[in-house]
Structure 1
Amino acid sequence: MNIPNRITLSRICLIPIFIILLSYPFDWGVWNIGENAIPISHLVAVIIFAIASATDWLDGYYARKYNLVTNLGKFLDPMADKLLVSAAFILLISLEMAPAWVVILIISREFAVTGLRLVAAGEGIVLAAGQLGKLKTVLQILAIIAMLLHNVPFVALGLPIDLILLYAALIITVVSGVEYFIKNWHVMGDSK
């Protein structure tokens, strides 16, 4: 197994740790920032999430730079991304930090695009992510981090940056999904 695929596997291995940190009520105290308090377990989860998110860029960069792109990597990388982001959003619902309807729309788009990619793969076609899809990923990651940080430091300024990022991620997620289907609808045509 090459290095980029090992990096991707490390991201997958970080997901259960991230889930446990947000699911189990660890009594590690809180970090007080002015009038705001963030549970230490959320800070640790943010660090794990940020590291896992960074590995997404790192494995892709390394694979392209050293020509180490493999079928395993093509499978594992998007799966790892979707598992990480989906787990984070679902946990944000359970922590009552994200509206369920937003998360349902975001995850539904991911399922739909994955389905289209599977159909394309069955026809021997590889569908690359577009620029809006990459922006979508960045906005989702930033929204998750801001929400897990309880909007600190922006809460002191009265700016709901976490919610602004969440709704921006939702809009770009939906728009990029529609664009992806319009651009690649030919894949769904009858092959006869």
Structure 2
Amino acid sequence: MIFSFFKKTQHQTSNHEVPDITKEKVLPNWLKKLPNRLTFLRILCIPVVVYLMSLGEVAPESGHFGLIQPIKLSSTDIAAAFVFALAALTDFFDGWIARKFNVETVLGKLLDPLADKLLVVSAMVILVEKHRMDGLIAVIIIVRDLGINAIRLAAVDDGIQISSNIIGKTKTTFQDIGIIGLTVCGTVWIIPFHYIGQLFIILALAASLISGGQYLFDYARKLKKS
């Protein structure tokens, strides 16, 4: 009887152990709001990028898939490339922080892809206008992105979740590097940014088509199973 009493007491004590503080750790308020603030920062960068890029020179027209010709380096082009790179980094860090600390919000899920698309489309439109990017490539990439967004919305309506694949994420990296290179569109420290930019834009085009096909196949397969 005494043994059962001590056993019961020990069991009750174990049930009232000090809770794990790591499970109840309260995140600071600034960290919870940081992803959305980075998204807002990216949105604020858009008019700055557009204004700086609009001041750039027009490159010689090269035709579809022709080699982009370099132009004279300017401080506005370098500044535009720097601000675009900063905005692209916020696109990476806001998503990473939100997933890492589980602070994703509905507002963030809506604004993050919207800000990304506005930034990229705005930059591409000006690069095409300045003859620094092939218009056909820009149209294909933009239409592909709109199509993938439509597929994802349709998947949500069908109760299906389509996750980003590695090729799609690689496409975003190629695309950002390409835009930065074509924004500079000249040689800096013997580095031909215009050629590097064009190369990565073509790689982004290839990754866009491949990942787009994968998203479509994934959606069709999951839709058939459901």
Please state which band the TM-score falls in when normalised by the shorter chain: 0.7 to 0.9
Aligned-pair CA distance for 1:152: 2.5
Count of aligned pairs: 182
Identity of aligned residues (%): 32
1:1-16 equivalence runs, <5 A: 2-16=33-47
Alpha-carbon distance in structure 2 between the residues aligned to 1:147 and 1:158: 7
SS of 1:160 mapped into structure 2: helix
Q: Deviations over 1:28-60 (max 9, x none)?
A: xxxxxxx97312111111111000000011101
RMSD: 2.5
Which of 62-71 and 158-167 deviates more? 158-167
SS of 1:9 mapped into structure 2: helix
Q: Deviations over 1:44-93 (max 9, x none)?
A: 11111000000011101111111101222111111111111111111100
Counterpart of 1:127 in structure 2 is: 162
Alpha-carbon distance in structure 2 between the residues aligned to 1:44 and 1:159: 16
The counterpart of 1:86, out of the listed 83, 97, 121, is 121
Distance 1:125 1:161, change over 3 A: same
TM-score by length of 2: 0.73
Residue type matched to 2:102 in 1? N
Alpha-carbon distance in structure 2 between the residues aligned to 1:81 and 1:37: 29
1:13-162 equivalence runs, <5 A: 13-24=44-55, 37-153=72-188, 160-162=195-197
Pair 1:176-2:207 in alignment: no
Alpha-carbon distance in structure 2 between the residues aligned to 1:22 and 1:42: 6
Q: Find the structure with the greater CA-based Rg.
A: 2
Distance 1:188 1:84, change over 3 A: farther
Contact 2:49/2:80 (<8 A) preserved: yes
